[in-house]
Each structure stands twice: as C-alpha cells, then as structure tokens.
C-alpha cells in the first residue's frame, strides 16, 4: 500500500499540482488497495460463496443472519432458524436437518442468480 501511495504522490508531483499533488496522490494511492480488495471480495461472494450467505428457511420467514442462530446440533453445529428448524450449508446446497441428522436439500445457490428452491419439492 505504501508503494501505491508513493507512486501516486510522485505521479501528481511531476504535474502542475505541487505539494497538493503529493498529498492527493498519496491519498489516492492509499485508497486503491482497499478498493481493489473490496471489489475482489464482492466478486468472490457473487461467484463462489453466495449472497446472502443464508437463504430463507423452508417456511420463507427467516432470512439472513438475523433469522438464524448458530447452535450445537448432534456432534457439530447447525443454523437454527426462528421457526425452530435446523439447517446446514453443504457446498451450494442449503439442507434441512431432521432429528437424526439426515437432511433434505431445501434450496440451491446458483452463481449470479441467488438461491432457488430445489426442483422436485
């Protein structure tokens, strides 16, 4: 990040801007790296992990992190919705867990399109 700040300061310094160019170029260089990192995180969410991270429950009333709470379930952890059902994310599938721990896929995430109900249900 310091390299980008120095490059921005030197680039503006050689123009007509003088000391203000050094200050503005340094600030522009410092803001470049966080902007690139935010853009990469957005692309990662859209193509790999899914957004929102947790879809609506099978009843359709619990959405996002406010609708779920991480609780102990069996040997591990699962997301418990406000309706009382337990869910787990398995790759791109959102799975409803019954008392035995076996599950049924409720929703599947598709890149750039979001969460969709599983066909045949």
pTM beyond 0.85: the answer is no
Whole-angstrom distance, CA of residue 74 vs CA of residue 59: 23
> Do 69 and 45 share a domain, yes or no?
no
Is residue 115 very low, low, confident or very high in pLDDT (cuts 50, 70, 90)? confident
> Do 8 and 37 share a domain, yes or no?
yes
- Phi first, then psi, for residue 26 (nearest 5°) are -65, -45
Q: Is residue 107 part of a domain?
A: yes
Q: What would the pLDDT profile of 56-81 be if each residue is shown by its tens digit? A: 888 888 887 788 999 998 888 999 99
H or E segment and range at residue 96: strand 93-97
> Which residue range(s) make up the domain with 69?
65-117
Q: Is residue 58 part of a domain?
A: no
Number of domains, the chain: 2
pLDDT at position 75 is 84
Q: Is residue 43 part of a domain?
A: yes
Residues 6+ apart with CB under 8 A from 112: 46, 47
Q: Is residue 85 part of a domain?
A: yes
Q: Is residue 97 part of a domain?
A: yes
Q: What would the pLDDT profile of 80-91 be if each residue is shown by its tens digit? A: 999 999 999 888
> Do 75 and 111 share a domain, yes or no?
yes
């Amino acid at each position: 990040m310091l390299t980008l700040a120095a490059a921005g300061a030197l680039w503006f310094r050689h123009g007509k801007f003088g000391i203000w160019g050094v200050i503005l170029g340094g600030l522009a260089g410092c803001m470049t790296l966080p902007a690139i990192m935010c853009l990469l995180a957005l692309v990662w969410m859209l193509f790999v992990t899914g957004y929102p991270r947790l879809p609506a429950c099978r009843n359709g009333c619990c959405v996002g992190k406010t609708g779920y709470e991480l609780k102990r379930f069996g040997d591990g952890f699962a997301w418990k919705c406000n309706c009382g059902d337990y869910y787990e994310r398995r790759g791109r599938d959102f799975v409803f867990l019954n008392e035995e721990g076996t599950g049924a896929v409720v929703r599947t995430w598709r890149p750039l399109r979001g969460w969709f109900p599983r066909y045949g249900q």
